[in-house]
Structure 1
């Protein structure tokens, strides 16, 4: 039996990485949907700023979702693709009926922290197995998410 994927990675390693990437994919979907809800429902004095910011964040998230799913396919595995799978696998939970500035930013901060923790876990696993493509994808995302988290912290302080 062949031990390498079609791009030269160990199949067993790729299975482990794909499992974690699918977990990230599921979490990103819940993060994305929470942002959509915040964008639609935000109220108050910061409406215009946060309405635009939530749209920016969910637009970026949609691009990341696609990149994660395509990476899973690239390493020879199948990305999750049903909402029931996303809800089952994700540690980020649905955040319904929120419309205040502090509460929506706090949930966004919490969700983003969850994504960063998982990305750091994936980064280590990918580095340890020599999966440079996944390292590159996740490393870039960590940098962007850390900057966003810094901005959310500034808003909340």
Structure 2
């Protein structure tokens, strides 16, 4: 029986950097998702009603993106990690527990999105070099949405 990579025409050695990038991105996204849940639950201040709702939208969106990354890893013949203990070992995003103010949470979200976008660009470039247009397209879709979100968050936080 042919492997999934043989069926798609992709080469395992060529896509190895893409798989590694996606695995790291999955860990980062899982930690970010958890942070967003905490921000949603614990936000305080005059902007509570707006940010409480927006953080929920953000973590719902991130949950969908996490699933897409995990499924893409499976399509590339890899097994996505599901243990949070392992995510924390490789994630460049740190767990947040004591951020409650709008200023702190928005700054953290913006910084996190910048990190995610940099990784997604690197993955898209690596995927493009290996003719993995599907992964490249997935990353470009994420980037399009996240760039718009960063713009909106910056406009919202402007004084």
What TM-score do the two structures reach when normalised by structure 1? Answer: 0.95
Equivalence map 1:61-80=2 (5 Å): 61-80=62-81
Matched, 1:107 2:114: no
Which position in structure 1 is the counterpart of 2:33?
32
Match of 2:147 in 1: 146
C-alpha RMSD over aligned residues: 1.4
Hey, what does 1:12 align to over in structure 2?
Answer: 13
Question: By how many angstroms is 1:85 displaced?
Answer: 1.3
Q: Residue 125 of structure 2 aligns with which residue?
A: 124
Alignment match, 1:60 = 61
Offset, 1:14: 2.0
Q: Residue 5 of structure 1: CA displacement?
A: 3.5
CA distance in 1, matches of 2:60, 2:148: 16
1:22, 1:154 → 2: CA distance?
32
Cα shift readout 1:79-134 (whole Å, capped 9, x = no counterpart): 11110111111101011121100000000011111100000000100011100110
* Structure 1 Cα separation of the partners of residues 24 and 120 of structure 2: 10
Asked whether the equivalents of residues 15 and 77 of structure 1 are also in contact (C-alpha less than 8 Å), the reply is no
Runs of 5+ consecutive residues of structure 1 not aligned to the other structure = none
Unpaired stretches in structure 2, ≥5 consecutive residues: none
Flag as ranges the 4+ runs of structure 1 deviating above 2 A: none
